[in-house]
Amino acid sequence: MASNISSKFTFAKAADVELDEAVAWYNNQKQGLGYELAAEVEKGVREVVEHPLRWPILVADKRRYRLARFPYGLIYIIAEDRILFLAVMHLKRRPGYWRGREAEFRR
């Protein structure tokens, strides 16, 4: 991701792990498919950084951007100086499991 945009967001450690695991799983299903997922996540990050208020509030101050091709959403918070991504969430599994991750950014 270009450095000018990367200074405008941060991923929670668990969200990074989720993305890595999803990319690996999709690449095991079909060579290169995981990289297509990663590209779509990157597109979503760019869109959220450019227009953070565009996507609906999911709960409290958390918003969700839904990927078009894959059953995933990016859960994020708008902070003063950046976007905080809490989860790369599979939309059909364990809703709300990511709650509490914002505490990572308060340390």
Tokens for 30, please give them.
Answer: 């079909």
pTM, rounded to two decimals:
0.89
CATH entry, 3-106, from 3.30.2310.20, 3.30.1360.70, 3.20.20.210, 3.90.1150.10: 3.30.2310.20
pLDDT along the chain (107 residues), means of 10: 71 95 97 97 96 93 96 95 94 83 79
Give 30: exposed, middle or buried? Use CB within 10 Å, 0-12, 13-18, 19+: exposed
- Report d(CA 1, CA 100) in Å as an integer: 27
Residue 24 backbone dihedrals phi, psi, to 5 degrees: -60, -45
Mapped onto helix, strand or coil, the DSSP state of residue 88 is: strand
